[in-house]
Structure 1
Amino acid sequence: MSYIKSNLSITLNITLVIILLMTISACSNQVTSNQPAVTKQTAESSIEELQIYKNAIVALNNNELAKAEKLFISMSERQPNIAGSWANLALISIKQDNLAQAEVYAKTALEKNPNMPQALNLSGYLAQKKGAINIAKSYYLQAISHKSDYALAHYNLALVYDVYLQDIAKAIEHYQFYLAYSKTKDENTENWLEGLKATMAANNS
């Protein structure tokens, strides 16, 4: 049986990747032989970098993509091992419909942190856009394995099961997780979920 969404738009969820730069601002009161002292210059640089990152997040929130991109590129040059900058650059590229560049950034983010849920979710999104459904499913499953309450990844996984794989039981499960973990009310998904439940109950009766 074919399940076609009528009231619920088939839209993949992506989100801002807000990463606290704990490694940048970390300080210590003691100095050991294998731990360099935190100088005033280093501390000032850390504060400056944290502000750049915060400004980039604000710009991205405000959909000021060019500004956000410039700031995240600056952060990626200053702190190339911070996966959050690369993941957010991937998100910006997606918003700019530059999926090829987004793939490069998402891959870099996962190289820096293979377990980053947001980067895994973005990689799933990109795979799904290319029609690689099983690869997308794998990325989403990895995302929730590292962050079980990651609502957006649950939603994207529900869509995969619902629209592409026709596994309605699994779709219902992940729609429920999405609604449970989401910070905002989503009446469209709630209504769609009730319809799926009713359909499955009718098919099983």
Structure 2
Amino acid sequence: MARLISIISIALTLLSIVACSAGAPTMKVSSAAHKLVPPEFDAALALMKSGDTEAAEQAFVRLTEVYPRAAGPWTNLGILAARQQNYERAAKYFIAALQRDANNVVALNWMAFVTGKNGSYAGALDWYNKALAINEHYAPSHLNIAILYETVFKHPGPALAHYRRYHELTGGDSILVSAWIYELESANDLVAANVAQVNK
């Protein structure tokens, strides 16, 4: 039980860090005239990273009004709401982002997270798989699926596969994920040894 709580706690931290830094969405819109990232978006992201939640929210709301077809501001409003544990509001923001860009893997990944927080783990798995169907190299979804398989569904095989893929995509930088891989591999080796012994 302690390991489960530890994994979930660390995973939430990793998810928050990964999704908000490397995975921050751009200001893509349909019109070719607005493909560049406006300075206001960078300023809003800076507020978000600094921890000034209220100012960041206001800045992103203004961006939704100025760039109504852009997915990025809605995605980041969702992330801010999720960080405040307002999962219902976060889900509405992520849906708004996905209506503007159905291939927004950051929004899909976070939508999976809030769906799981609302108690639908099967739904969360569906959203993570949608993200990976669009971009199979999107590391945060591999990590989150691995955690879901290990801690909720109790399927160590798929969990190990996704941990390994995350590890590969991120260059093996996470000591924690390396430890989780080692634990699952050791457990698998023990099971295999026991089965071999029984079948003698």
TM-score range, shorter chain: 0.7 to 0.9
- Pick from 155, 158, 161: which aligns with 2:149? 161
Q: Name the structure, 1 or 2, with higher relative contact order (CA <8 Å, separation 6+).
A: 1
State TM-score, norm by structure 1.
Answer: 0.81
* CA-CA distance at 1:25 after TM superposition: 9.4
Report Cα offsets for 1:26-56 as digits up to 9, x if no partner: 56xxxxxxxxxxxxxxx9xx98x70110001
CA contact (8 A) 1:24 1:50 kept: no
- Pick from 159, 162, 177: which aligns with 2:165? 177
* CA-CA distance at 1:9 after TM superposition: 2.6
TM superposition outliers: structure 1 runs of 4+ over 4 Å: 22-27
Q: Structure 1 residues 204, 7: closer, same or farther in 2, change over 3 A?
A: farther
What percent identity do the matched residue pairs reach? 23
Report Cα offsets for 1:39-97 as digits up to 9, x if no partner: xxxx9xx98x7011000111111222111111111111111111111111000011122
- Pick from 45, 52, 65: which aligns with 1:64? 52
Superposition RMSD in Å: 2.5
* CA-CA distance at 1:24 after TM superposition: 8.8
> How many residue pairs get matched?
185
CA contact (8 A) 1:56 1:68 kept: yes
Structure 1: unaligned runs, 5 residues or longer: 28-42
SS at match of 2:127: helix
- Pick from 45, 52, 55: which aligns with 2:43? 55
C-alpha distance in 1, partners of 2:179/2:76? Answer: 32
Residue range with higher mean Cα deviation, 109-118 or 7-16: 7-16
- Pick from 27, 30, 33: which aligns with 1:21? 27
CA contact (8 A) 2:25 2:75 kept: no
Report Cα offsets for 1:141-163 as digits up to 9, x if no partner: 11111111211111110011111
C-alpha distance in 2, partners of 1:161/1:24? Answer: 36
CA contact (8 A) 1:8 1:192 kept: no
Point out the structure with the larger helix share. Answer: 2
The structure with the larger Rg is 1
State TM-score, norm by structure 2.
Answer: 0.83
CA contact (8 A) 2:25 2:106 kept: no
CA contact (8 A) 1:83 1:112 kept: yes
C-alpha distance in 1, partners of 2:31/2:131? Answer: 27
1:1-205 alignment runs, 5 A limit: 5=3, 8-10=6-8, 11-12=11-12, 13-14=15-16, 15-16=19-20, 17-21=23-27, 23=29, 26=32, 50-182=38-170, 185-205=173-193
